[in-house]
Amino acid sequence: MGLLVLSTAYLAPVEYYIHLYRADQVIIEKQENYTKQTYRNRCVIASANGLQTLSIPIEKPDLLKCLTRDIRISGHGNWQHLHWNAIVLAYQSSPFFEYYADNFRPFYEQKPGFLWDFNEQLRELVCRLLDISPSVSYTDEYFSAYPSDALDLRETIHPKKEPTISTFKPYYQVFEQKYGFQANVSILDLLCNMGTEAILYFNSSPRPNPPR
């Protein structure tokens, strides 16, 4: 894969990291206007109660339009505790959670400022734990479209859209016997259940569907 264009995302779904792994060059959008109800501030985990969405609360911008890079995480509520507790309950019985827990816990003990920075720090951590080194850069201006040979998934990897990967090969999940295999949830799920063997999963996954 050549050039890949992505939005920022909070513990993005598995498809996001499959594309990251395969791309020769990755651009992560930093100059877009913030869009609600996307993976920019939410992820989905496979919990004891089925699929569970974890959303980071944001401060309402003063202006109608605000750049994603300028979106601040709300300091109200107790979302860090709620998210970490949900993650522990979902994955404490998974094969690799104990190996990775200390890496993720600090993110839920701090008071993060900007959503974009928080997401990127988590993405960089996930890439290190997966032992992948994508060539990532960031936009310094906004382009509504890229050349046809680029794979622009900024608005395609979305909670309300079909995945860009046609099928997801099942792997072990903690609550699979109860709910069946839950495909394309947060990368945290694949990491906790497969560890660095996630690379083998990436390699065996089908090529992407054309963006719609």
Model confidence pLDDT, tens digit, residues 120-145 = 999 999 999 999 999 999 999 999 99
Q: What residues have CB less than 8 Å from 67, skipping those under 6 apart?
A: 30, 31, 32, 33, 34
Q: Chunk the chain into consecutive blocks of 10 residues (it has 212) and report each block's average pLDDT, rounded to whole numbers.
A: 93 97 96 95 97 95 86 91 97 97 96 95 97 96 93 96 93 96 98 95 78 53
Nearest partner of 28 among 211, 157, 208, judged by Cα: 157
Backbone phi, then psi, for 205, in 5-degree steps?
A: -80, 145
**The whole model's pTM is what?**
0.94
Q: Which pLDDT score, from 0 to 100, does residue 83 have? A: 97
Do residues 46 and 174 make contact, with C-beta atoms less than 8 angstroms apart?
yes
